[in-house]
Amino acid sequence: MKRITSSLLLGSSLLATVPAMASDLLLWQTNSLTYLYGTKFEVNPAIQQTVTFEHADKWKYGDNFLFVDKIFYNGGRDFNKGTNTYYSEISPRLSFGKIFDRKFEFGPIKDVLLAMTYETGEGDTEAFLIGPGFDLAIPGFNYFTLNIYQRNTIGSRPGDHVWQITPAFSYTIPVGRSDILIDGYMDWVVDNDQSRRGTYHANLHFNPQVKYDLGKALNFGAKQLYVGFEYSYWKDKYGIENSDRLDTRQSVASALVKFHF
């Protein structure tokens, strides 16, 4: 299963990224580094520092997004992962409208896509997600996407063949000489998985960032340097049902510095 899934993901990633190297196919791309510091995390050690690399691009036949988190527990120790860990996702999407050169538009839907995500991290954390994606035209938003996935876990971890709804958004508010950018996503796993692997509970993770464009305010360059905070609300974190024994309801704000290049 792991070899088949990895091959499928590799093929999709190559299809979605290699052609984009040609200048006539790549529409835009952006890369960034983010530093986060937060306290009061649940399940894992309470104090965490995270360095994140992100890449996003749009090309002739779709778009790609990936991130890699390196998480430090500020001297604390996680029972399974030690004093630090990593986690990453890669999410290529293929546009049916662009591939077939026709419009898939109705109501607020501006395009229909094949959406995929591969999740991996330290330990038994691999999963492959696949399903329909939609680009939506919502007034005022820079973008609004909606992906509906079926999750397929790899290894012994529960959470196989459950459905996940993932909207992502971006909204800009002009403030004086600069802007506040609000963007983020929500992962909503809508059903439970009870199998021989164990129990994986339905859960919801809402993760927006609120950022002030400091680079624009200082004439350093718009959309390059941001400061602000990231908020993480996670009900039944990691699919672990909240109980008196273990609190899995996470609500934490982390200080943020983000640089685009």
Angle at 86 between CA 56 and CA 256, to 5 degrees: 60
φ/ψ (deg, to 5) at 201 = -90, 145
pLDDT of residue 145: 98
2-260 is classed CATH 2.40.230.20: yes
pLDDT per position as a tens digit, 200-257 = 999 999 999 999 999 999 999 999 999 999 999 999 999 999 999 999 999 999 999 9
23 pLDDT tier (thresholds 50, 70, 90): low
pLDDT per position as a tens digit, 88-112 = 999 999 999 999 999 999 999 999 9
Output the furthest CA–CA distance in the chain (Å, rounded). 58
6 pLDDT tier (thresholds 50, 70, 90): very low
pLDDT of residue 79: 83
Domain positions in the chain: 2-260
Average pLDDT (179-206) is 94
φ/ψ (deg, to 5) at 214 = -70, -35
Strand, coil or helix: 31? strand
More confident position, 219 or 8:
219
13 pLDDT tier (thresholds 50, 70, 90): low
Q: How far apart are alpha carbons 44 and 161 in whole angstroms?
A: 26
